[in-house]
Every structure is written in C-alpha cells, then in structure tokens.
Amino acid sequence: MDRAFKVLVTVLLNLLTHWEVEGRENLPPGGPLLLVFNHLAWWDAPLAIAALPYQATGIALKDLQRVPVTGQLLGLTSVIWVDRGRYDREALRQALAVLKEGGVLAIAPEGRMSVTDSLERGKPGSVFIARKADVPILPIGLIGTDKVSGEWRSFRRPHLKVVIGKVFRLPEGRKYASRKEERQADADFIMERLAELLPPEYRGVYADSVE
C-alpha cells in the first residue's frame, strides 16, 4: 500500500502544486536512518513521501486517527501511533525495531504541528531514539506547506520545496549538569540542522542559532 500511496500523492502534488526538491545528492543509499523534518501542516508527510526514494515508517499521534481524511490517509502508510503526553513503551519498541531491521524512521522533532508557522523548541523523543539506536540522522526542510490552503482559496497552485540536508550524528563527549539538559541540547542540535535548511522566516526560536 505504501507504493500506491506514494504514486497517488505524487500525482496530486503534480496536479495541485508546483513542487521541487533540492539536495538529492545528500541522500544515503538506505537505512538504518532516522529522518527528521519540520512540521508546518498536514501536507508535510505526503510531500516528504513523494520526494524521497525510501519506504519510511512514520511516527504520528493517535489523535490523528480521528481526524477526517488525514487519519484515513495516514492509515494507508506505514505508521506507528503514539499516545499523546505519556511514555509509550510499545511505540518506542516498534520504532527501534524499524531501525534495527535497517529501515527508515520519520519523526517531527517538535512533537506536533507548529502553531507559529516556524520552528518550535525540539522535544527529546527523536534524541532518545537516535541515541538508543545509534543511527545517522537525515534532516529534511519543508517549505511552503503552511500556505497551501490560502493559495488554493485564491485559486493558485502553491509552491512547495523540499530541502534535503547532509546526514549527521549527534555529538559525543559534551558534559551537562543533568540528563534532561543533555537531551535538550541534543534536541536543539537536531533543530539547528533543520533551521540551516530553511529561509529566515521559518527558523522560529532557532533564528539566532543559524548564521
């Protein structure tokens, strides 16, 4: 079903938007790989699916299952549903299993769709997975998805852009006063790699972290 969904999304993007992909030369051949992206709108995941050559498993909030259209579309893909606001041991087990088997796991490090149309502070979930699985991280910057609805209402095709960054790993050897402080620093490190791929108006709380 993932392959059929990718074809469907690509057709819809070609019909309803102008979209482009930058940085394909940065794509590794495959997994294990943790894919991280900024989250502006419900179009983010379909756009990433269409742009990338991988069959990825995404992490999504269980609440989205009840959202009309979005829930049904996500159900057509490989997705791990996570309970909001609690430590979901089963979801974590599934996520780590995907990476252990050499797969690609996709997650929005902010933990939710941005309410500011720009980057919000990163959460430690992606950090925990990256450290536990010890896998490389591929940053994906998504631009324009927040404007899709407005452009359609004006009978215009929105311009969307996917920017693929270079694979990186979390830094080693840094000292912190607590595990919480360390995980937040790692989360910020991931978000700064995303900020580097985005125009200034999308960098949000990480605007001052990128030259």
Is the model's pLDDT at 66 over the cut of 60?
no
Give per-residue pLDDT as tens, 96-137.
999 999 999 999 999 888 888 899 999 888 898 999 999 999
Is the model's pLDDT at 92 over the cut of 90?
no
For residue 95, count other CB atoms closer than 10 A to its CB: 26
Distance between CA atoms of residues 174 and 176, nearest Å: 7
Is the model's pLDDT at 31 over the cut of 70?
yes
Is the model's pLDDT at 65 over the cut of 70?
no
Q: Which residues pair with 137 in a beta bridge?
A: 34, 168
Domains of the chain: 2-204 (3.40.1130.10)
With CA atoms as reference, report the closest residue to 16 among 34, 43, 38.
43
Q: φ, ψ for residue 208 (rounded to 5)?
A: -80, -5
Helix (H, G, I), strand (E, B) or coil at 49: helix
Is the model's pLDDT at 196 over the cut of 60?
yes
